[in-house]
Amino acid sequence: MKISNLLAPFLFLSLSCSETPWPFSENDVTHVEHSTVKQQAIGNCWLYAQASWLESMLQSSWSKEVDVSETYWEYWDLYEKLISGSQKLDDSVNTGGSWFRSNHLIETYGWIEEGLFIKEESGMIKSSAQACAEKYIARESTEGGRLGPQHERTPSYVKSELNKAFSCGGQYAVDIDEAFELRHSAADTMLRDPKNEKEKSLVDWLDDWTEVHNSTRGYAAYEGKKLPSRGTLATYRSWEKRLKRALNDHQPVVLSFFVSFNAPDQNGLFNLNTLAQKGSLGQSGGHMVVLHDYTVTHVPLLDYVGEGERDAETKEAALLGDLDYVVVKNSWGAYRDDRPWLGDGYSRITWDYLTKTYWDEESQAFYPFLQSLVFPPGY
């Protein structure tokens, strides 16, 4: 998945944080464990989604909240892109990625607690170091810049440049080699299966979680005014069931989708009616988040099941209902004055929105809003 840099300009806006817990409604279906909501500073939602996934898995296994460093992975991502030359000679920093890419970074470089990499950013909602690094690289990876000539981008030179870039002009002491020594390797990180209590390594977990990509693109390329076909709906129905079963068992399913900032209503619910009233996609691009909860309609005997942790019987009944909307842990911060609809940082997205297509002006084709889902093994 290509993450668009379109979202980046939003992410430098000021943040108004609060420690007040979100007042969840009492009629809630499930509740996946999640760490504190963060706010991405650059266009790397995929690393925040990967960290949220890992933090949820660690929380289930270790029964404590762990602050995994997204900045550490961002460092290695930029390092590889500079070495390989995929960070081109221009002032637009390539911060895009995918589930596949972040899996590669964890398997290669492991993970580390935020405080062990840049200790000043431990517990911080938004990383300054990442914003500094993006600015530095944008400036220096141009013609005549310190990172301009590809032949000079040797591993040790790039590391010394990135240490500088992430230090925010010397404000932080950054030493990637030292951090690498302190890392948890994926092979040594043992995680418990919440279903059967068995432990296996993070490497095995990453191998076992499966990303399913939306293959309705060929069809959707020219069928924009139509409802999804019955075949497409059957695929979505199957995903809906897998998603609900996994969430019922507190598994942090990962979602990639195309986000439009014209879609959320005043309560933060992304839906097509609000988008239609606006009349255009507006600011938009690829986004990745981790699921937390869902609601269903048309449940036999219950009609509607709302957010939150329900008993096993209600969860079983919820499998028979129609998915209304999913609740996701987002990476845009919380309680922001400039985006009050973000609330506690958990967003709500209707299944109707995700299962329809949007018109892409650039490629002159329709694409599905829902791009992929990452499911745990056995679901």
Partner 1 sequence: MKSSLLPLGLVLASFCLGAAQAIAEPTFSHVEHQFWIYQHIDGQAHFRFPWDAEANDVQYNKEALPDFAKACLDVTDASFKNALSSVDAARKMQDLAAKGATSKFLVLMNVIQSKADYSQLRQWDRDAYFYQWNDLRSKPSLFLSDFRSGFWVWEVVSWPGSCLQPPIEELHRYLDYVGQRLGVKN
362 touching partner 1, by CB under 8 A: no
224 touching partner 1, by CB under 8 A: yes
360 touching partner 1, by CB under 8 A: no
Rounded Cα–Cα distance for residues 260 and 347 (Å): 13
Do residues 2 and 285 make contact, with C-beta atoms less than 8 angstroms apart? no
Stretch that binds partner 1, among 35-43, 47-55, 235-243, 277-285 (CB under 8 A): 277-285
Do residues 130 and 93 make contact, with C-beta atoms less than 8 angstroms apart? no
Question: Coil, strand, or helix at residue 344?
Answer: coil
Under 8 Å CB-to-CB from 122, ≥6 apart: which residues?
67, 113, 114, 115
273 touching partner 1, by CB under 8 A: yes
Beta bridge partners of 109: none
Among 64, 151, 198, 225, interactor with partner 1 by CB under 8 A = 225
* Amino acid (one-letter) located at 158: V
The residues in 155-194 that bind partner 1, with binding defined as CB under 8 A, are none
275 touching partner 1, by CB under 8 A: yes
120 touching partner 1, by CB under 8 A: no
Do residues 300 and 320 make contact, with C-beta atoms less than 8 angstroms apart? yes
Q: Pick the closer one to partner 1 by CB: 9 or 282.
A: 282
Do residues 240 and 323 make contact, with C-beta atoms less than 8 angstroms apart? yes
Task: Annotate each residue in 253-272 with x if it binds partner 1 (CB under 8 A) or - if it does not, as one string.
Answer: ------------x---x-xx
Question: Coil, strand, or helix at residue 343?
Answer: coil
Q: Pick the closer one to partner 1 by CB: 61 or 235.
A: 235
Do residues 369 and 356 make contact, with C-beta atoms less than 8 angstroms apart? yes
- β strands within 76-193, DSSP E: 190-192
Using CB under 8 A as the binding criterion, the count of chain residues that bind partner 1 stands at 24
366 touching partner 1, by CB under 8 A: yes
235 touching partner 1, by CB under 8 A: no
Task: Annotate each residue in 280-309 with x if it binds partner 1 (CB under 8 A) or - if it does not, as one string.
Answer: x-----------------------------
Stretch that binds partner 1, among 44-52, 122-130, 136-144, 274-282 (CB under 8 A): 274-282
Among 277, 312, 337, 362, interactor with partner 1 by CB under 8 A = 277
Measuring CA to CA, which residue among 378, 377, 376 is closest to residue 32?
376
Among 231, 279, 301, 363, interactor with partner 1 by CB under 8 A = 279
Q: Pick the closer one to partner 1 by CB: 48 or 358.
A: 358
Rounded Cα–Cα distance for residues 130 and 135 (Å): 9
358 touching partner 1, by CB under 8 A: yes
Under 8 Å CB-to-CB from 86, ≥6 apart: which residues?
80, 94
Minimal distance in Å, beta carbon 279 to partner 1? 6
226 touching partner 1, by CB under 8 A: yes
128-140 vs 70-84: helix axis angle to the nearest 10? 10
> ∠ CA 269-270-271 to the nearest 5 degrees?
105
In a 13 Å sphere around the CA of 28, the CA atoms on its Cβ side amount to 14
Minimal distance in Å, beta carbon 78 to partner 1? 35
> ∠ CA 23-338-281 to the nearest 5 degrees?
100
Q: Pick the closer one to partner 1 by CB: 52 or 357.
A: 357
Minimal distance in Å, beta carbon 27 to partner 1? 18
28 touching partner 1, by CB under 8 A: no
DSSP symbol at 6: G
Among 357, 371, 372, 376, interactor with partner 1 by CB under 8 A = 357
Q: Pick the closer one to partner 1 by CB: 20 or 277.
A: 277
Do residues 271 and 114 make contact, with C-beta atoms less than 8 angstroms apart? no
Positions that interact with partner 1 (CB under 8 A): 222-227, 265, 269, 271-277, 279-280, 352, 356-359, 366, 369
